[in-house]
């Protein structure tokens, strides 16, 4: 029976999804559901849809913290800078990051990967007290039905529609992914130049935030020695093609390709060592926010021998 591997039809992964790049040495079938990948994400906590799946990084950390029989493969499907996704209502009196304190801020889910990253960045870089903010969520999201913990002083509520709530002032700000939708008459970016803010964070920390990654059922990797590395190798080849083919006027998770290239952020490599600083940073952020119970080492997150 073929090993089923999730392959989103975007960025470098599309070259695996369409068969341009194959995973050598194994009988593999690449798959992806029609429409959103949300069903793949939520299945990880019940019965993963495929033998190798994609998960947002914070979801993966929660799964590992719960002791689920999964193991990471250091292939990172997409990267982003969450500072680009902060939108505020123009009437909320928010002009600086510190002005978010005491406000009501929307996130797709309280442990939504961009929310974990942006809370950490705002705390580290701007001294924002994240526990003073009321975090407003919306269902469904990538952790719907999953019991998620949070630091005890965090406040959480919900609305049916985050975009409408920001537009009419029911919430004061939103943390989106992929840069978020365009600003409207009633909303604007928190930062006048979010790309400059993102680059300053990257230069100060060495972190290029990771959004989603591959992981596998542990018993599948155990039964197929070398599968994890074969997937990394194929993903590396796909990434080479992606960086060769993607045009300067395209974008990656809301980031202009030309800007990424000019600032030395593309090409970006898979692997544990190439991403150790970013992995350790999001583990710290997730632990500080109470989303995971302990700071796991990078090595215990990935298959034995992952480099």
Please compute the mean of the pLDDT values over residues 112-120 and round it to a whole number: 96
Same domain? 125 vs 267? no
- Asked if the model's pLDDT at residue 264 lies above 90, the reply is yes
Domain count for the chain: 2
Same domain? 110 vs 201? yes
Same domain? 46 vs 140? no
Model confidence over 201-256: pLDDT tens digits? 999 999 999 999 999 999 999 999 999 999 999 999 999 999 999 999 999 999 99
Is residue 307 in some structural domain?
Answer: no
Is residue 306 in some structural domain?
Answer: no
User: How, if at all, do strands 104-106 and 3-6 pair?
Assistant: unpaired
Please give the pLDDT value at position 283: 98
Please compute the mean of the pLDDT values over residues 276-286 and round it to a whole number: 98
Alpha helix ranges (H) inside the chain: 14-17, 38-43, 57-65, 113-126, 162-168, 194-205, 218-223, 227-245, 257-262, 276-288
Please compute the mean of the pLDDT values over residues 85-100 and round it to a whole number: 98
Domain end point (choices 205, 221, 243): 205
Model confidence over 23-60: pLDDT tens digits? 999 999 999 998 778 899 999 999 999 999 999 999 99
Domain that holds residue 43: 3-79+209-301
Domain end point (choices 184, 205, 226): 205
Please give the pLDDT value at position 38: 85
Same domain? 227 vs 149? no
What DSSP line would sit under 171-226, residue for residue?
A: SSEEE-STT-SPP-TTEEESSSSHHHHHHHHHHHH----EEEEEEEEHHHHHHSTT
Domain end point (choices 205, 236, 255): 205
Share above pLDDT 90 across residues of the chain, in percent, rounded to a whole number: 96
- Asked if the model's pLDDT at residue 171 lies above 90, the reply is yes
Same domain? 70 vs 219? yes
CATH code of the domain covering residue 192: 3.40.190.10
């Amino acid at each position: 029976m073929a090993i089923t591997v999730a392959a989103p039809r975007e960025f470098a992964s599309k070259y695996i999804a369409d068969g341009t790049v194959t995973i050598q040495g194994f009988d593999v079938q690449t798959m992806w559901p029609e429409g959103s990948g949300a069903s793949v994400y939520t299945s990880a906590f019940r019965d993963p849809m495929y033998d190798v799946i994609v998960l947002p990084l914070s979801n993966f950390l929660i799964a590992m913290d719960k002791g689920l029989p999964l193991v990471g493969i250091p292939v990172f499907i997409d990267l982003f800078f969450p500072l680009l996704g902060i939108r505020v209502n123009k009437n909320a009196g928010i002009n600086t990051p510190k002005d978010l304190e005491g406000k009501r801020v929307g996130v797709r889910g309280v442990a939504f990967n961009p929310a974990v990253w942006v809370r950490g960045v705002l705390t580290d870089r701007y001294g924002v007290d994240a526990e003073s903010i009321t975090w407003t969520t919306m269902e469904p999201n990538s952790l719907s039905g999953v019991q998620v913990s949070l630091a005890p002083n965090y406040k959480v509520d919900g609305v049916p529609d985050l975009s409408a709530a920001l537009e009419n002032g029911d919430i004061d700000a939103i943390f989106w992914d992929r840069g978020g939708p365009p600003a409207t008459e009633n909303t604007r970016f928190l930062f006048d130049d979010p790309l400059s803010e993102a680059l300053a964070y990257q230069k100060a920390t060495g972190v290029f935030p990771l959004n989603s990654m591959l992981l596998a059922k542990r018993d599948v990797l155990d039964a197929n020695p070398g599968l994890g590395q074969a997937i990394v190798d194929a993903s590396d080849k796909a990434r080479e093609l992606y960086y060769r083919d993607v045009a300067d006027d395209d974008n990656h998770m809301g980031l202009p390709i030309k800007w990424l290239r000019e600032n030395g952020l593309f090409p970006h490599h898979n692997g544990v060592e190439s991403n150790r600083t970013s992995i350790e940073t999001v583990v710290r952020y997730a632990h500080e926010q109470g989303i995971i119970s302990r700071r796991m080492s990078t090595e215990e997150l990935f298959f034995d021998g992952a480099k």
